[in-house]
Amino acid sequence: MEPKKPKTTISVFKADVGGPGHIMPFPGMIDEVRRYLEANGQGIYKSFHVSSTGDDIAIIVGHQRGPNDKALHELCYKAFIAATNVAKGLNAYAAGQDLFDTAFCGNLAGMGPQIIEMEIDERKGETVVLFCMDKTRAGAFSGAFRRACGTVEFNTGLLHSVKMQQGFVFEVLDNYYNGPGERVIRLNSNSEMPALAALLVVEDRYVIKSITSAATGELCAMVSTFCLDRSSSTHVGKDDPVALFRVQGGFTALGDVLGVFALCFLVGGGMRGSHKVVLMPVEVGTCVSDGDGPAVVSAQVFCINEGVLTDPTDGFKQPTWDKVREKASRINSWLRSIEPDGVTLPLNEIEYHGIQDTLEALQPRFEIVNVPAAT
Ligand code: F6R
Ligand code: MG
Ligand code: MG
């Protein structure tokens, strides 16, 4: 009998640590993250890749040390600090924004960056997509992932694989829960689709945390759910989530999960995190510069072999995506032409407090008029 292979962990760490006004990091900052990881991480990772989407830098690491490995977390934390120092040297805007001013205590979780750590038994031909979003929040993945796993219109596997018809188990997190631990619910995308859809339309509150195959119990996808503005008393930026999504075989086909983003979803995000914006699928490394938006999503596809990641393939490079970007751009222009009316998020979802402050200042000027005379 062959000895059991060690599990592989794919860890993703993503942070906005500055740049020219929230559109993209300076190239020297990305180079510095790479340099730092190469110089200091031998023996910790099997492989890594560094990229940017909008103003965020994402590090994806393949290794066999399991989730929450202190050495890896510290390495990536220090790599972000190194990029922050480059940003500070350039007097870049918002240098170090997503790194909370707290001492590193062994884990990057809760310190600002978005994190996902997916521990798997590698399949033959293991293929995984790293999705990175900018100018939006975790719920921006819901419309795409619900369709990509749970609907015949977007997942051809549901028609052609009886096994897949057992559905996927969506673990949905209540983002407004303030108590100890996390408040989650698990729903099957086959037997409970209307309930799942009902939860996920509440985009700010109920967010997908993970998706597993009901047939095999294998982990299909994970979304980063760290919520910056509920973790700090002051505004610190938009969450800009990342997700890992395994594809092919018992999971959704790669083309299916990418293709669903052609719908150009409307998500909470841009304009200082206060508006509904269109979600544009972009090539990795794209800057975000059309009115603090639109929200963007990039897709890098990797194969992985015993923790060693291939170079990524850009999922949104095919010429079709230029047409989709044109569509998103048109929607974006229209939304910008009518803002703030109708596109501003509910007050409790806005990161900045300017509107609340204005409304409070106006309260004393309200008068009660036209009170009917007592009969
Ligand atoms: C935040 C971000 C942007 C900013 C916006 C205004 O990470 O990417 O949406 O919120 O550009 O930034 P400030 O308030 O710093 O001028
Ligand atoms: Mg930013
Ligand atoms: Mg960002």
By alpha-carbon position, which residue is closest to atom 8 of ligand 1? 22
CA of 367 to the centre of ligand 2 (A): 41
Residue 351: the pLDDT is 84
Taking the chain (375 residues) in runs of 10, the rounded mean pLDDT of each run is 86 97 97 98 97 98 98 98 98 95 91 96 98 97 98 95 94 95 97 98 97 97 86 67 97 98 96 94 97 96 98 97 98 96 93 93 98 92
Residue 237: the pLDDT is 65
- Separation between Cα atoms, residue 295 and residue 270, nearest integer Å: 6
Pairing label, strands 295-305, 275-281: parallel
Counting ligands in written order, the one closest to the CA of 296 is: 3
Burial class (CB in 10 A: 0-12, 13-18, 19+), 57: buried
Residue 101 neighbours by CB distance under 10 Å: 8
Residue 102: the pLDDT is 83
- Separation between Cα atoms, residue 25 and residue 84, nearest integer Å: 10
By alpha-carbon position, which residue is closest to atom 7 of ligand 1? 237
The torsion angle over the Cα atoms of residues 290, 86, 133 and 76, rounded to 10 degrees, is: 180
For ligand 1, is residue 273 a contact (CB within 6 Å)? yes
Residue 272 alpha carbon, nearest atom of ligand 1: 10
For ligand 1, is residue 272 a contact (CB within 6 Å)? yes
For ligand 1, is residue 237 a contact (CB within 6 Å)? yes
CA of 185 to the centre of ligand 1 (A): 32
CA of 113 to the centre of ligand 2 (A): 12
By alpha-carbon position, which residue is closest to atom 14 of ligand 1? 272
CA of 25 to the centre of ligand 3 (A): 10
Residue 111: the pLDDT is 93
Are 138 and 241 a contacting pair, CB within 8 Å? yes
- Separation between Cα atoms, residue 29 and residue 288, nearest integer Å: 17
Domain ranges in the chain are 8-360
CA of 207 to the centre of ligand 2 (A): 21
Q: Which amino acid is at 10?
A: I
Listed residues: CB within 5 A of ion ligand 2: 16, 22, 55, 237
By alpha-carbon position, which residue is closest to atom 9 of ligand 1? 272
Are 207 and 201 a contacting pair, CB within 8 Å? no
Handedness of CA 221, 81, 87, 45 (dihedral sign): negative
For ligand 1, is residue 238 a contact (CB within 6 Å)? yes
- Separation between Cα atoms, residue 188 and residue 315, nearest integer Å: 28
DSSP H helices in 111-217: 142-150, 157-160, 193-200
Residue 71: the pLDDT is 98
